Structure 1
Amino acid sequence: MSDPIRTRCDSGILEVTLDRPKANAIDLATSRLMGETFKAFRDDPALRVAIVTGAGDRFFCAGWDLKAAADGDAVDGDYGCGGFGGIQELPGLNKPLIAAVNGMAVGGGFELALSCDLILASHTASFALPEIRAGTLADAASIKLPKRMPFHVAMELLFTGRFMDAEEAHRWGIVNEVVEPGKLLDRAWELARLLANGPPLVFAAIKEVVRETEDMRAQDALSRVGKRQFPTVDRLYDSEDQLEGSRAFAEKRDPVWKGR
């Protein structure tokens, strides 16, 4: 059997393609492999940005592999170090992630896209949470989706399991941009190159602050940032890159970020 994921690296960018015909569904072994892949991405200072996509043009990811479940994969089994799909629960993943949704993002596939920082979708993409029809819980989506779009629309999607096309997802702010199918990866790489040339220590600080202050009062969050109580913020404020940004601005030139 071929590998369930394919990767390629170029200029600090990692592309991860889920490739499990016919629907790019994720079983326990694939989830663990994805976790190790994204853990290596997290820990490699040469890698700045990751793109997540699916093989083919019909499915981005169909979520949990029900056939594997029927063969013995437990729904509460070992998903690996990053949780389901490798990124939902991976600690310290402070680098930008881009989802390039090329087809149907269903159940856990939708949740995989929601775990990324930016979502691009082809015009043929669609999103659904059909867990309700199987009498089970879309757990990550139940936590994340009502915070990402109007509450009543999120609840409708969770309660009915209906499909939402790319244009509607864009209208509600779930998708950053909708592009022609043949241009999806090119656009994802264009955006990834832009981010790869940005300041990695600032990206890390942004991600940690956004993640850790989600349920904090604004004043408490600002106090923690001001007191440098987040490791990424403390590192940033003492970094060479912090000085480089100021110098580049004063000298009217592009900064050269070193990530230190």
Structure 2
Amino acid sequence: MEYKKIKYSLEGDTAWILLANPPLNIVDLEMMRELISALDVAENEAEIVVISHEGKHFSAGAEIKEHYPDKAPDLIGTFTELILKILNSEKITVCAVRGYALGGGFEIPLACDVILASSNAKLGVPEITLAHYPPVAIALLPHMIGWKNAFDLITTGEAVDAHRAREMGIVSRVFEQESFDEDVKKYVNGLLEKSPIALKLAKKALKKSTAVDFGKVLGEVNRIYLNELIKTEDAVEGLNAFLEKRKPEWKGR
């Protein structure tokens, strides 16, 4: 597959997948499909998969125009396929984040085993400000950081910095901006020094310890989003207001 919005490279046993749609690396349907394809390739030829990005920001989120009711099913279905591809990977998945990681651009890192963040990173899910909610974050965050922290992030829509995200248990490590790329490579090289079968089985055991079927959970969260939320007047008004750069007028229905 020829990639237009991502870049893929293999360095030894590490597959590097870069979001390459600057300046904000908006995750649209085309990028989602390219990421799915690249992950399939990586599953067959790498031991570690690193998802990172070009430019100053990891991603400001999914394409707003693809959230409208007529396009939302395709968007949600494809994004769910991408997220489950990451969650179900047998490989070690590392996400390296600089700058903004918002909305869908935050949920991709959430699906990875490890998030390495630059000290300038800002992470969050602002969907509630558009009268939407982030299905993947709702499915994953309560199990990762507890109900109250998840509720706070999702219902305020506020982004947190890298250090706060680490305190909450979202980010694994925070590296300084100046040495970020080098530190990420050192981290990955440290994993490569371990037994690949031991890493694979440790990941398998860790997954068993959570005993959560995220595919089932996400299916129910998506059902509420598509069958209830997206059909409200406020959900459409939030999108319109964002694109028209004005304050939304909520109807509560």
The interval holding the TM-score normalised by the smaller chain is 0.7 to 0.9
- One of 172, 175, 186 as aligned partner of 1:176: 172
Alpha-carbon spacing, 1:67–1:123, altered in 2? closer, same or farther (3 Å): same
CA RMSD of aligned residues (A): 2.4
The 8 Å contact of residues 35 and 80 in structure 1, kept in 2 or not, is answered as no
| 2:51 counterpart letter in structure 1 | V
> Which residue number corresponds to residue 198 of structure 1?
194
1:69 deviation in Å?
5.0
Deviations 1:183-242 (A, max 9, x none): 2221111111121232222222222333344237xxxxxxxxxxxxxxxxxxxxxxxxxx
> Which residue number corresponds to residue 218 of structure 2?
none
1:124 deviation in Å?
0.8
> Which residue number corresponds to residue 157 of structure 1?
153
Alpha-carbon spacing, 1:37–1:61, altered in 2? closer, same or farther (3 Å): same
Q: Quote the Cα distance in structure 1 between the aligned partners of 2:29 and 2:124.
A: 21
| 2:101 counterpart letter in structure 1 | A
> Which residue number corresponds to residue 77 of structure 1?
74
Q: What pairs up with 1:125-164 in 2 under 5 angstroms?
A: 125-164=121-160
Q: Quote the Cα distance in structure 2 between the aligned partners of 1:157 and 1:39.
A: 31
> Which residue number corresponds to residue 55 of structure 2?
56
Secondary structure of the 1:61 match is coil
The 8 Å contact of residues 94 and 203 in structure 1, kept in 2 or not, is answered as no
The 8 Å contact of residues 120 and 188 in structure 1, kept in 2 or not, is answered as yes
The alignment's TM-score, normalised by the length of structure 2, stands at: 0.75
> Which residue number corresponds to residue 224 of structure 1?
none
Deviations 1:82-113 (A, max 9, x none): x4583434574111111111111101111111
| 1:128 counterpart letter in structure 2 | G
| 1:65 counterpart letter in structure 2 | E
Secondary structure of the 2:74 match is coil
> Which residue number corresponds to residue 27 of structure 1?
28
1:4 deviation in Å?
0.5
1:151 deviation in Å?
2.4
> Which residue number corresponds to residue 12 of structure 2?
11
Alpha-carbon spacing, 1:67–1:20, altered in 2? closer, same or farther (3 Å): farther
The 8 Å contact of residues 63 and 107 in structure 1, kept in 2 or not, is answered as yes
| 1:173 counterpart letter in structure 2 | G
Gaps of 5+ in 2: 213-253
Q: Quote the Cα distance in structure 1 between the aligned partners of 2:13 and 2:77.
A: 25
Alpha-carbon spacing, 1:14–1:89, altered in 2? closer, same or farther (3 Å): closer
Identity %: 26
Aligned length: 210
> Which residue number corresponds to residue 120 of structure 2?
124
| 1:54 counterpart letter in structure 2 | H
Secondary structure of the 1:154 match is helix
Gaps of 5+ in 1: 217-260
Alpha-carbon spacing, 1:38–1:87, altered in 2? closer, same or farther (3 Å): farther
